Structure 1
Amino acid sequence: MTLTRRHLMASTAAVLVLTGTATLAESHIPADATLAAEQTFVYRVGDESPSIDPGKVEDTDGSDMVRQLFEGLYNQDADGNLIPGVATDYTVSDDNLTYTFTLRDNAKWSNGTPVTAGDFEYAWKRAASPALASPYSWYIELMSIENASAVIAGEMEPDALGVTAVDDTTLQVTLSEPLPYFPQMLTHSTTFPVLQSNVEEFGDDWVQPGNMVSNGAYVLTEFVPQERAVMSRNTEYWDNANTTLETVTRLVVADENVGLTRYLAGELDRTDVPAGQYPRLSQEYPDQAMSVPLSCSYYYMFNLRDNGPEEFQDPVVRQALSLAVDRDIIVDAVLAGGQKPAYNFTHWATAGFEAPEIAMANMTQEERNAQAQELLASAGYGADNPLTVDLVYNTNESHRAVAVAISQMWKQTLGVETTLANQEWQTFLDARGSGDFDVARGGWCADYNEASTFLDLMQSGSGYNDSKYVNEEVDALLANAKTSDNPNADYAAVEKIIATDMPIIPIYHYAAVKMLNDQIENWPVNNFQQNWYAKDLYKVAAE
């Protein structure tokens, strides 16, 4: 999958005069670029994020916003490589258990006070604290930070977490076991600092505009839930001189087709391509339509709790439903945006991952359908005893289109009766987390570029194992992978177990299928996670 835009990357150019007045030194903007008079970026999301508190944020849209407002120890460049954020360097002990980070001395909060190692210590301990009840506290445990499990479980106080501010510019982190990809995990929003005095002064309202003190390239200046959020340049940001966009605006537009209409009318600089429309749009707007691999996997999950539906406790039933899904139709006819069929959970483009041989992947759809029919019949379901499925997804036209297509496949192949229900995003998350579903749509985007970011969801204690799937062998393999010289062997074994137990139905691996204003330059198309930083973008004048 490739991007059809003319400008994939801006060169690292030097001195530029900005539309008549300001001068940027050491800029990432080419010297011959002509900037637009108004440096603004407006993009669409489909729903409001549950939180923009770095310690609580749990969705990709929320993380995109938090990444503009806050800065962690490290950022990513346009290719997804680590580059300095607040940290300028680190050392690691011989046993690979102690990381010591040196922080830059010119990093400031938006109120002008210095960003210190103590701000990171506070933020990480806060994120792990049961008092915060963060849906992402488990990420601190995934990082293998010393005592994280006990702190999250309430068995030890947050102060026992293995993170210490040695002085204002030195942060020391102690791990319980070596973790080769630990530095890669430090670009995630859960690890961003927050200012203790700011949180304590305003309580839950500290994230509101006018209250929030942040350390990223932008500050929050307007926030209307379910409508818009406006972020403006943070003049205290240490690299503000090299920031070009003045404002970044996030608009909530639930309907993808309405979003496209508003994009084509010039109201948006970026929006999602509705299901099935990429082929047409890429022909009509070759410099604006884009499809690149995106580190997310789309799947359906079964409720495997003890009080969940009895029919789905049988792996044979789950296998039958998975086999009957024609993934080629989903990606080629329903979505048509460069996605790829998924027969395993981990995205095919994940760094270092080698997908194992999955029997289903090498079958024709006719063979899959025949086997699905045999399996479902062996489980006791048929014309005299039809299987019924209640399928829930969050409100989105693409999710609806996929659900309708799959329900038709189940009906035609297996005689299954499916009831579809859509829910608003927060309601949907609550239902999944509490087990108020039979089968639910799932989508997981990598927190870092390594296979464990997907497969750890299959671990019995994972905070996002909403199926409540429990397999001791999977737990043991994932634990071993953390310190293994060849973790891919463990990952392959886990994928094979999933393909047999089928706690989830992998459906497709994502592509980022977007419309992007061709005046916006420096978009990180080669960043597999599509982690974008507005401070690195700029808008050129229209041709």
Structure 2
Amino acid sequence: MASRNNVNLDRRSLLRTLGAGGIVGLAGCTGGNDDTTTTAGDGGGGGGDSTATPAGDLGDTLVGPDGEQVSLSMVYSTGSETTKTIAQFMKQEYGKMGIGVELTGVPFNTMLSKYAQNTYKPEDGEERSSFNAGPRDEATSQEQWDLMLGIGFNSYPRTPTSIRPFWTSEKKRKQSTVNFYGYRPSEDIAGMLDEASQETDEAKRQELLANVFGVLSHDQPVNFYEFSVDLNGFQKDVQGIKPGQSIGYNYQQYFRGESGGSATMSGGYSYGAGTDAKTLNPIRINDESSSDRLGLTLDGAYSFDNNNEVVYRWVESIDTDDKQNYEFTLRDNLQWGGDYGQMTADDWVYYIKEVHQAEDNWAGDVNQSKWFRGEEPIPVEKTGKLSFEIQLPEVDPAFIKKPIMWGAMCLPKGLVEKYRDMDDGGNKLNQSTAIQEITYSGNLGPYTFERWDRESVFVAKRNEDYYLRDVEGYDGTPNFEEYKMQVFGEQSTRLSAFETGEIDQLMLPSSKAKKFEDLSSTKVIQTPNAFCSILAYNQRANGWDQLRTREVRKALSLGVNKKTIVENIDRGYAKVAHTHQPEYSDWFDDSKVEKTGIGENYGAAQAKQMLADNLSGDYKFE
């Protein structure tokens, strides 16, 4: 294992699976005090000392204080052969730098719960678990790791200030954020994002955001290595698809038939998935797999189409005169199940205040910080039976495009208040039949819960009372009697099921896209993916302590050939990444981004030199 601080870490059991979702605050600039930050050349050349040993004279093996080769532990998510191949390639690249790597493949949900999630017990409080439970010296994961592969971070090209939860310092933690790797920014990223969020001058906003993405490329809290292209595989007879960046926003309108034909009713639709849901509790969902299952039964407030236009769902209108106070009006035909009656503004106001903004976070909400500005909850007021107003403390012209009300879900007030003041109420609500079987969904989604066989299949049946049928274009929807999300642990099994027609839709790996493009029975639709694939560097106490040094992290990024990953492993169905924003984004400024892993900014020699110049004195090459 890697040589790290001589500390015996307490492997506490996790209390619950909390996590990502988008959340909360950073106050002040760390100044790099704990990151041992020094000055290095922009392109990834060497570090500071002009008397450093030339790279050609360095040895082949990096040796730690114990006299053994440094060996880092890399955990990666299984289920995708591409991810495994990238892990093996990165191991090979680190080998050229004299560093060993021990690979461990685990299911994605296991990677989140045992490796990414961390646990912390304050001196004067109860133990808590989340993706940023506390200070990096004290909050550590159940399982040790140094490098993590298989996670993609949403770059939110529509609303880039939404990336704030990923880069919030671990030192200040009131609400849950996503900084599981223990990053301390060298500059006040949160402050810049807050300022950009309020800026109405597009040029000034662009400059602020370009600075943020420049800082991230400089700090290298993770190795941003690619933005992939989604390869959506469908059976040829699936119709109604609207290709684009928001493909699937109208999945209720899919039908089986001839191209150009009219929508008709048919038996069932099956989606082949690589991972199962973690939970069906909207309060605790932080992953796409869980969100996809719940989304079959609950539409959410509203979504966006391929032209970035609002697609109204439960909400039928959004009004604002000043871009600071936003009034949301619900449709009048929304009905909860389980005898909870009509969905009204009372449900939303109660849910926002008593779940999202509850000071004690009794329900284990993973998205709390979105509903705060700094330490203060965002005021929310009922303005009518079906309307409520969110009163922002500052102007925010992009508010409706942020993942706050966009896609937001709600629970009935009558359900939540049963557990609000109960001992361990959050866990009891989570374990209730209402949550586990989504009995409260009523007419609020195109399908209703039928059964969930863990790690096997999620089945939902057609909702005969679906509220959206009153809207033009949705007559008779959905067009399938049943919708299944079937889990295939092995990618090969999933692909075989797709080839034989057992499943109707899946995400294809780049290595298999050409095959299914050429088949007469299937089709492949490419869409840009806003998720940035990263290799996370563990800067917490159970990671290699040298990862807290910015230049060490940058050296590891310099030594991995991103072009090989994109062109050879992903067969060109991806773009190289250097920061948490794609190059096509309005917020990306090439002049401010430090590039790693390509051209003159790639190579084992310069990576080794940077390590030699910036590792502590107890390390050397032999």
Which TM-score band applies after superposition, normalised by the shorter structure? 0.5 to 0.7
Supply the distance in 2 between the matched residues of 1:338 and 1:176 (Cα, whole angstroms).
42
> 1:12-161 counterparts in 2 under 5 A?
33=261, 38-94=266-322, 96-110=323-337, 113-125=341-353, 126-129=355-358, 130-141=361-372, 144=373, 149-150=375-376, 161=378
Q: Is the 8 A contact 1:54 1:191 kept in 2?
A: no
Residue 501 of structure 2 is matched in structure 1 by 266
For 2:466 and 2:397, the matched residues in 1 are separated by: 31
Contact 1:101 1:170 in 2 (8 A): yes
Q: Offset of 1:98 from its aligned partner?
A: 1.3
**Superposition pairs of residues 342-361 of structure 1, within 5 angstroms:** 342-350=577-585, 352-357=586-591, 358-360=593-595
Corresponding residue for 1:193? 410
1:157-182 alpha-carbon deviations (Å, 9 max, x no partner): xxxx5112222211111112121211
Contact 2:281 2:436 in 1 (8 A): no
Check 1:52–1:347 CA distance in 2 against 1; reply closer, same or farther (3 A cut): farther
Paired residues, what number?
359
Aligned to 1:168: 385
CA distance in 1, matches of 2:561, 2:370: 34
The question of 1:334 aligning with 2:569 is answered yes
- Matching residue within 390, 394, 397 for 1:180: 397
Q: Structure 1 residues 190 and 162 mapped into 2: Cα distance closer, same or farther (>3 Å)?
A: farther
Question: In structure 2, which of residues 538, 541, 545 is the aligned counterpart of residue 310 of structure 1?
Answer: 545
**Are 1:218 and 2:218 counterparts?**
no
Would you tell me which structure has more helix in proportion to its own residues?
Answer: 1
Cα 1:217–1:10, aligned 2, differ >3 Å: closer, same or farther? Answer: closer
Question: Which amino acid in the other structure matches residue 335 of structure 2?
Answer: K
Cα pair distance change 1:324/1:185, threshold 3 Å? same
- CA contact under 8 A between 2:237 and 2:257: conserved in structure 1? no
Shift in Å, 1:297? 0.6
Change over 3 Å in CA distance of 1:105–1:30 after alignment to 2: farther
Counterparts in 2 of 1:373 and 1:210: CA distance versus 1, 3 Å: closer
Superimposed CA distance per residue, residues 320-360 of structure 1 (whole angstroms, 9 cap, x where no aligned partner): 1001111111122222261111111213444x333433342
Secondary structure of 2:303's match?
A: strand
Residue 183 of structure 1 deviates from its aligned partner by 0.9
Greater alpha carbon shift after TM alignment, 313-322 vs 368-377: 368-377
Distance between the aligned counterparts of 1:284 and 1:9, measured in 2?
A: 17
Coordinate RMSD, CA, aligned: 3.7
Is 1:246 equivalent to 2:481 in the alignment? yes
Q: CA deviation at 1:80?
A: 4.3
Distance 1:264 1:337, change over 3 A: farther
Instruction: Return the alpha-carbon distance in structure 2 between the equivalents of residues 330 and 109 of structure 1.
Output: 48
User: Normalized against structure 2, the TM-score is what?
Assistant: 0.51
Alpha-carbon distance change, 187 to 131 in structure 1, aligned in 2, over 3 angstroms: closer
- C-alpha change, 1:354 and 1:180, in structure 2 (3 Å) is same
Instruction: Quote the Cα distance in structure 2 between the aligned partners of 1:67 and 1:35.
Output: 22
Cα distance 1:265–1:210, how it changes in 2: closer, same or farther (>3 A)?
same
Q: Among 515, 524, 530, which residue is 1:295 paired with?
A: 530
- Secondary structure of 1:48's aligned partner: coil
Query: Larger deviation: 221-230 or 236-245?
Result: 236-245
Which consecutive residues of structure 1, in runs of 5 or more, have no partner in the other structure? 13-23, 152-160, 387-414, 416-543
CA contact (8 A) 2:280 2:436 kept: no
Which structure has more relative contact order (CA 8 Å, sep 6+)? It is 2
Secondary structure in structure 2 of the residue aligned to 1:354: coil
Q: 1:188 to 1:289 in 2, by over 3 A?
A: farther
CA distance, structure 1, for counterparts of residue 396 and residue 337 of structure 2: 33
Cα separation, partners in 2 of 1:135 and 1:362, compared to 1, 3 Å? closer
Which of 237, 241, 244 is the aligned partner of 2:466?
Answer: 237
**Does the CA-based 8 Å contact 1:210-1:221 persist in structure 2?**
no
1:418-472 superposed Cα distances (whole Å, 9 cap, x missing partner): xxxxxxxxxxxxxxxxxxxxxxxxxxxxxxxxxxxxxxxxxxxxxxxxxxxxxxx
State the distance in 2 between where 1:269 and 1:4 align.
8
Q: Provide the secondary structure at the position in 1 that maps to 2:595.
A: helix
Q: Deviations over 1:141-168 (max 9, x none)?
A: 3xx5xxx7345xxxxxxxxx51122222
Which amino acid in 1 is paired with 2:498? Y
Partners of 2:596 and 2:391 in 1: CA distance: 42
Residues in 1 aligned to 2:407 and 2:283: alpha-carbon distance in whole angstroms: 5
The one-letter code sitting in structure 2 at the alignment partner of 1:203 is L
Structure 1: distance between partners of 2:546 and 2:438: 52
In 1, the alpha carbon distance for the partners of 2:328 and 2:315 equals: 6
CA distance in 1, matches of 2:387, 2:570: 48
Change (3 A) 1:225 1:8: closer
What are the residue-to-residue correspondences of 1:347-386 with 2, within 5 Å? Answer: 347-350=582-585, 352-357=586-591, 358-360=593-595, 364=599, 367-380=602-615, 385=620
Question: For residues 572 and 267 of structure 2, what CA distance do their matches in structure 1 show?
Answer: 30
Give the conservation status (yes or no) of the 8 Å contact 2:239–2:258. Answer: no
Q: Where does the alignment leave 5 or more consecutive residues of structure 2 unmatched?
A: 1-228, 243-251, 420-427, 470-474
Asked if the contact 2:559/2:597 (under 8 Å) is kept, the reply is no
For 1:234 and 1:226, the matched residues in 2 are separated by 24
- Secondary structure of the structure 2 residue equivalent to 1:229: strand
Shifted more, 359-368 versus 217-226: the winner is 359-368
Encode CA deviations 1:257-277: one digit per residue, 9 max, x unaligned: 211112112221122323522
SS in structure 2 at match of 1:288: strand
What percent of counterpart residues are identical? 19
Q: 1:384 to 1:133 in 2, by over 3 A?
A: closer
Secondary structure of 1:300's aligned partner: strand
**What's the TM-score, normalizing by structure 1?**
0.58
